[in-house]
Amino acid sequence: MSSRPAIDLHTHSTASDGTLGPAELVRAAADAGLDVVAITDHDTTGGWEAAVRALPSGLTLVRGAEISCRWHGVEPAVPLHLLAYLFDPEEPELAAELTRVRAAREVRGERIVELLRADGVDISWPEIMAAAGGGTVGRPHIAAALIRAGLVATTTEAFGADWLGQRYRLPKEDIDVFRAVSLVRAAGGVPVFAHPRATRRGRIVPDELIAELAAAGLAGLEADHEDHSPAEAAQVRGLAAELGLLVTGSSDFHGTHKTVRLGAHTTDPEAYERIVAASSGVIEVASG
């Protein structure tokens, strides 16, 4: 009997805040024994082309993105992430929103660095931008600069309350989550709510919102994730079953920014097939 394919639908490259380039990422995915991997950089499709060009034989690539969203049903609004798969990157409205969010990330990043420098922290915004190499800039890039400066030892420490987790944290501009679901669907893509019950990340949204999002076009929920406890993953699975949503599992791999390995959590083939079937086919999976 053949073994079930290993499918990891949430990874990041240097096109956003991962530490492996897109070509390195797909090679690492093949080396890790994956059969299917999704590249889902934050608010960008910038790594797609290089990943497709470098795709090893036997590996299938799902092109996607992790979109920065916000739910405005409470005050302050709750930030959340939407994984979008197999959408047309040239769909004008979605492309414009992703461009806006990336620009807002840069503005926020520079302001955070200004706050740090005002407190005597000797890090440089131009150096951070150079290290990002044209990728979507986020707090992990600032964390890396703090590590290089010897001010913190790890990314986890940099995201603590004394640094980027609270004292030097600023809000960023995101896309309203209902608009994001609508835009992804209009671009032929398939939207999945990333780590929806990860209480260790902060506030979570109520089940009622997820039900409303499902009615608006949300296709699935990410259940198996390093930031979900077993009980939280079980809650996600139960809610998905109630709402008729597909369930994914994935590593949320960021290279050395995180300790999680590729394929640490995976998606059932049936759920993967539902994602492919639900897309418009404008952007297809790529096979090596």
CA proximity to 47, closest of 67, 76, 22, 25: 22
Whole-number pLDDT of residue 129 = 93
DSSP 163: T
Query: Cα(171)–Cα(40) distance, rounded to whole angstroms?
Result: 22
The share of the chain scoring above pLDDT 70, in percent, equals 99
> Band of the pLDDT at 202, cuts 50, 70, 90?
confident
Q: How far apart are CA 88 and CA 34, in angstroms?
A: 25
| Angstrom distance (rounded) from CA 209 to CA 211 | 5
What does the pLDDT look like over 95-147, one tens digit per residue? 999 999 999 999 999 999 999 999 999 999 999 999 888 888 889 899 999 99
Residue range 258-277: average pLDDT?
Answer: 96
pLDDT tens-digit profile of 11-69?
999 999 999 999 999 999 999 999 999 999 999 999 999 999 999 999 999 999 999 99
What are the structural domains of the chain? 7-100+172-287 (3.20.20.140)
Average pLDDT, the chain: 95
Over residues 185-195, the pLDDT tens digits come to: 999 999 999 99
This prediction's pTM? 0.93
Four-point Cα dihedral 44, 45, 46, 50, nearest 10: 150
φ, ψ for residue 224 (rounded to 5)?
-85, 110
Torsion of CA 8, 177, 165, 40, to 10 degrees: 30
Structure tokens at 150: 């010897």
Cα separation, 264 vs 224, in Å, equals: 9
Average pLDDT over residues 241-262: 94
The burial of 282, by beta-carbon neighbours within 10 Å (0-12 exposed, 13-18 middle, 19 or more buried), is given as middle
- DSSP secondary structure letter of residue 257: G
For residue 22, count CB atoms less than 10 angstroms from its CB and return exposed for 0-12, middle for 13-18, buried for 19 or more. buried
- Span 151-160, mean pLDDT? 93
pLDDT of residue 132: 87
Peptide bond into 5 cis (omega under 30): no
